[in-house]
Amino acid sequence: MRGFAEAEFRGRLHKAQTLMAEAGIGAILLTTEPEFRYFSGFLTRFWESPSRPWFLILPAQGDPVAVIPSIGAALMQSTWVQDIRTWPAPNPRDEGVSLLVEALRETGGPVALPSGPESSLRMSLADYARVQCDSGLTFRDDAGITARLRAIKSEAEIDKIRASCAVAGRSFARVPEIAREGVALAQVFRDFQRLLLEEGAEFVSYLAGGAGPDGYGDVISPASDVPLARGDVLMLDTGAVRDGYFCDYDRNFAVGAPSAVAAGAHAQLIEATAAGFEASRPGARACDVFAAMAAITGGGEEAGRLGHGLGLQLTEGLSLSPRDETVLAEGMVITLEPGVETGPGRLMVHEENIVIRAGGAERLSPFAGPELVVI
Amino acid sequence: MRGFAEAEFRGRLHKAQTLMAEAGIGAILLTTEPEFRYFSGFLTRFWESPSRPWFLILPAQGDPVAVIPSIGAALMQSTWVQDIRTWPAPNPRDEGVSLLVEALRETGGPVALPSGPESSLRMSLADYARVQCDSGLTFRDDAGITARLRAIKSEAEIDKIRASCAVAGRSFARVPEIAREGVALAQVFRDFQRLLLEEGAEFVSYLAGGAGPDGYGDVISPASDVPLARGDVLMLDTGAVRDGYFCDYDRNFAVGAPSAVAAGAHAQLIEATAAGFEASRPGARACDVFAAMAAITGGGEEAGRLGHGLGLQLTEGLSLSPRDETVLAEGMVITLEPGVETGPGRLMVHEENIVIRAGGAERLSPFAGPELVVI
């Protein structure tokens, strides 16, 4: 089934309200897509347009209140949210501000917004100041409640991430159809997105990658028009989306027979991933999993992060880094993403997706073997 | 060529600094993707990951300063920005805050952030408060400078939007290949994204649409698995992206011979678009263009907006609505997007993209004719 049963949303709200009571919070105000969707089930690509703010209020007691542009009313009515208040947007003279103020006055304060790492405010600073002033309520951080709840996935959520991973798995298996010596990397990017769509992705929110002899220079640049050459390692890393949930993992391919350096690096990455998998269990800290992988790849502090949380967003929550002491718990979905230097300014990375279970970890992506696939 | 010449960025900065001097602003601080990219040329899909903030400072004099995660250093060095300061992110203990504070102290205040309609803050509220406090500087709005500059496109920008429109035009021409009676709308959505990629889109950031007898219920819902039926009108509306610039227009198709209602509505939409095109000239206000179209479609205040600005984002800047008195000027790129009701809770919409020129408007999308294309 698409979406979730109402019980799933009621469970999320109930947990939030329990934590809100402990923290002395009167209402949580959400403005960003993943936070809004997590509690409402409201799924649309329309957030791509920045013109209209969307507000969801979680009161200390009772059901959520959606304060949204009228263009979203019909779709919102198909969710479990009943209390839907709309205004004709865009209206720069009053972009939902008076409606939001009224709703917040009903729930009462303190009004808490996600304010910690990764959070952002999807409304203008001017309107935020107006809402604070006109409501007369106290505003504060949400004590990390939203992020903490989102970090632990339900079985229904895990199923969705698994389905997303399967889409990418089928697509990676077809890369030999689209990539070979002489094909420009930009063309491979286009064609790989096409494969993802054919294999069941609803959209491809993220695609990164690189290609070069024995590795690539960086993993965030747009694809160039340089054709793949014999001796290159090609890497594709995707965030395909199915039913609103991401996968995020990659695959490396050797264009022609791989060099000893590339083959060795890949085997080492697979070994590091296995070590990370072994270390990923309830009670272990994010930095412990980092250390297990870094012990094999040799990276230290400068290695950056070797994995992260995953779910409604491409990356969310914890970082597998020496600086993150988050304790892993059942239901957390994370990526394992070791990297190795293969030359000056050149690296190879590998990534898989897993979920933390009582006894250890479970694979969500179909783990790659140590041998590079040759195209 | 990809991207822009350095002179383009110098021109944008120079205009900003002229307006900053008038407004008494010491530095503009940018945190969101389009604003960051407009002044730096930094193009990556990596913004999809919310884990790391990115900061660009426009000082009152001199060149921009980028304060960014080290993972972006290599790509940033390929832009015209020279002053690049990095920190190893994510680091929740200091997510670039101290580095940003130091850079802002050098430029001096008041520090201005985009704070008006459509703006948002892509950093945590907690860190924003820390930066305000630790810098000891005054913070304020940017007097609309960023939005005002972005609203007027250069010829190089217009060329990019035109290229994006051409991608969609070639793809719309191929819709009969993928859509027919019996094909599920969700499958049409997947296949149309594939066509856009094949025709030159780098990615498909947005796709909406709908299908139903004589029209559709709303235009922001995800595609359903309901198969297209004879008598349906199918609408596809895309934001395909090429070189970082969007197109945003749609096409309607009749599944089998159209009814008189659908054919009449489509002809009326094309007539309204032509009236909007005629009304779009320097000196006219956004609300005047709205009125020209609404006079034909019969919509009033409740019609919402009948078009908007377009460029680095799917929608940006002005709204063609009764509430928006923005004066059109040469170089503005906008959409014309009339809609008509075809039944209770049922509508048809049409959209084209144009640029305002000295003598009137110029088409960027290949305008559709009054006859519905039958598939």
Q: Which domains are seen in chain B, by residue range?
A: 6-151 (3.40.350.10), 155-374 (3.90.230.10)
CB contact under 8 A, B123 and A124: no
Statement: residue B108 has pLDDT above 80: yes
Nearest to B126 among A88, A90, A116 (CB): A116
Single-letter amino acid code for the residue at A163:
A
- What is the spatial distance between Cα B171 and Cα B120, in angstroms, rounded to a whole number? 33
Of A217, A242, A157, A229, the residue nearest A188 (C-alpha)? A229
CB contact under 8 A, A202 and B186: yes
Pick among B54, B124, B191 to test the A interface (most A CBs inside 10 A): B124
Statement: residue B1 has pLDDT above 60: no
Give the pLDDT score at A247: 98
CB contact under 8 A, A95 and B117: yes
Give the pLDDT score at B304: 77
CB contact under 8 A, B123 and A120: yes
Nearest to A220 among B71, B194, B220 (CB): B71
- What is the spatial distance between Cα A212 and Cα B349, in angstroms, rounded to a whole number? 46
CB A370 within 8 A of CB A342: no
Judged by a CB distance cut-off of 8 A, whether residue B119 touches chain A is: yes
CB contact under 8 A, A314 and B49: yes
ipTM, interface predicted TM-score of the complex: 0.95
Judged by a CB distance cut-off of 8 A, whether residue A116 touches chain B is: yes
Judged by a CB distance cut-off of 8 A, whether residue B196 touches chain A is: no
Q: Which residues of B touch A194 (CB under 8 A)?
A: 194, 197-198
**DSSP letters spanning B180-209:** -TT-BHHHHHHHHHHHHHHTT-SEEEEEEE
CB A339 within 8 A of CB A362: no
**DSSP letters spanning A8-56:** HHHHHHHHHHHHHHHHT-SEEEE-SHHHHHHHH----GGGG-TTS--EE
Residues 78-107 of B with CB under 8 A from A: 78, 88, 90-93, 95
Nearest to A220 among B72, B126, B319 (CB): B72
Q: How confident is the model at residue B301 (pLDDT cuts 50, 70, 90)?
A: low
CB contact under 8 A, B304 and A70: yes
Give chain B's mean pLDDT: 96
pLDDT tens by residue, chain A, 375 residues: 579 999 999 999 999 999 999 999 999 999 999 999 999 999 999 999 999 999 999 999 999 999 999 999 999 999 999 999 999 999 989 999 999 999 999 999 999 999 999 999 999 999 999 999 999 999 999 999 999 999 999 999 999 999 999 999 999 999 999 999 999 999 999 999 999 999 999 999 999 999 999 999 888 888 989 999 999 999 999 999 999 999 999 999 999 999 999 999 999 999 999 999 999 999 999 999 999 999 999 866 566 799 999 999 999 999 999 999 999 999 999 999 999 999 998 999 999 999 999 999 999 999 999 999 999
CB contact under 8 A, B204 and A202: no
Count interface pairs A-B at CB distance under 8 A: 199
Q: Which residues of A touch B91 (CB under 8 A)?
A: 323
Judged by a CB distance cut-off of 8 A, whether residue A310 touches chain B is: no
Q: Which residues of B touch A202 (CB under 8 A)?
A: 186, 189-190, 222-223
Nearest to B117 among A2, A92, A218 (CB): A92
> For residue range B211-266, what is the model confidence (pLDDT) as tens digits?
999 999 888 888 989 999 999 999 999 999 999 999 999 999 999 999 999 999 99
Q: Which residues contact B173 (CB under 8 A, 6 or more apart)?
A: none
- What is the spatial distance between Cα A58 and Cα A66, in angstroms, rounded to a whole number? 9
CB contact under 8 A, B218 and A193: no
The number of helix segments (H) and strand segments (E) in chain A equals 11, 16
Q: Which residue of B has its CA nearest to A316?
A: B51
Nearest to A119 among B124, B219, B220 (CB): B124
Judged by a CB distance cut-off of 8 A, whether residue B47 touches chain A is: no
> For residue range B259-278, what is the model confidence (pLDDT) as tens digits?
999 999 999 999 999 999 99
CB contact under 8 A, A313 and B50: yes
Q: Which residue of B has its CA nearest to A89?
A: B304
Q: Which residues of B touch A193 (CB under 8 A)?
A: 193, 197, 203-204
Contacts made by residues B11-15, CB under 8 angstroms, sequence distance 24+ = B11/B154, B12/B38, B12/B39, B12/B149, B13/B39, B13/B58, B13/B63, B13/B64, B15/B149
